[in-house]
Amino acid sequence: MLTLDAGAPAGDIALGMRSELLADDLPHFDAILDEALAPQRDYLSDTEHAIYRQGKRLRPAVLLLAARMIHGPEPLPHKVQQGAVSLEMLHVATLIHDDIVDDSALRRGLPSVNAARGTEAAVLVGDLQFVQAIRGFVRAIDRDSDMALIELVLDTAFQIGCGELDELRTDMNQTPERLVAHYWRTCDRKTAVLFGLAAEAGVTLAGGRTSDARRAGFCGRRLGRALQVMDDLFDLAQDEAGSGKPRGMDLLRRRASLPLVYAMAELGPQHRVSRVLRGEPLDAESLERCVAEVRGTTGFARAYADARTQALEAIELLRPFPANRYRYALEDLALHIVDRRP
């Protein structure tokens, strides 16, 4: 079984998988990525290239492992690698647009595209990545049964956009129950859907049955849910040196992350944390106190329990698949997502 470092940061989850199980796939992935980026050469700066270079390619790793879970260790069809590259480009497009929406100055510890080049250029560069991603998925189709994949990709992109808007439209005056429901809907659309696409596309492009592809998609979405909740927790636990961004940004931006919603319900509507999330001004010193107060609630542990439940459900969904090292790697990944330390 694949061994992963429980202390590895979020971005390093795929490193063990890439070195041990996907080493033969990496040269093909890199070559196809270079081809996909070549038409944009005159429009991309070092900032965009850094996003691709420093990305840990977790979503492509899920796609490739799902494909190999069906296909085995023999060389993968070219279209699988093409799909993995296109998935990474779609993910990069969402990162660039996320930073625009959040007005983030940093991405993985480096200047974000919007900070380095301005909002107008960042929007257009993000759009270029999205278009190239769709073109890549179209190139991956070589049989009629793959056609449904294009609809799935477009639906995924649509869901991601809806999730971004849902997050912006969050009404923090709703009841805790409604806020929790809103959180999961937004999480599914913003994050989980892309992991679902990764797993489902991997099985589809490897020639798996439609029922297996859909089951893999359900598994992927649970992986994405677990990862998002853990990122919410790390936002309150990691310092800037570990995460590349200041601690407590979700609170500062009044985002309804799961631990914050649970904390609001526990602390009550008149508590400072609840007032801040509803719009009360917040300075740096008060931010640190609020973060500490949130971490002192049971909401922090409740959110972690929810993340672990999602990871265990992902593992359960993998049970019917062949008992090979690629399935075991996906199971290890699910556990590593929730076992890693901030």
Would you say residue 5 lies in a domain?
Answer: no
The pLDDT value recorded for residue 2 is 38
Between CA 258 and CA 191 the distance in angstroms is: 14
Question: Are 88 and 59 contacting, i.e. CB atoms less than 8 angstroms apart?
Answer: yes
pTM, full prediction: 0.91
233: domain CATH number is 1.10.600.10
Q: How many domains does the chain have?
A: 1
Backbone angles phi, psi at 270, to 5 degrees: -95, -5
Question: Are 136 and 86 contacting, i.e. CB atoms less than 8 angstroms apart?
Answer: yes
Q: What is the DSSP string of 251-311?
A: HHTT---HHHHHHHHHH-TTSHHHHHHTT----HHHHHHHHHHHHTSHHHHHHHHHHHHHH
Would you say residue 255 lies in a domain?
Answer: yes
Predicted confidence (pLDDT) per residue in 200-220, tens digit: 999 999 999 999 999 999 999
Res. 146: pLDDT tops 80: no
Would you say residue 294 lies in a domain?
Answer: yes
Higher pLDDT, 169 or 313: 313
Res. 4: pLDDT tops 70: no
Banded model confidence at residue 10, pLDDT cuts 50, 70, 90: very low
Would you say residue 4 lies in a domain?
Answer: no
Between CA 204 and CA 211 the distance in angstroms is: 10
The pLDDT value recorded for residue 104 is 81
Would you say residue 3 lies in a domain?
Answer: no
Would you say residue 15 lies in a domain?
Answer: yes
Would you say residue 308 lies in a domain?
Answer: yes
* Mean pLDDT across the chain: 88
Would you say residue 180 lies in a domain?
Answer: yes
Q: What residues make up the domain containing 212?
A: 10-339
DSSP letter, residue 62: H
Between CA 28 and CA 287 the distance in angstroms is: 46
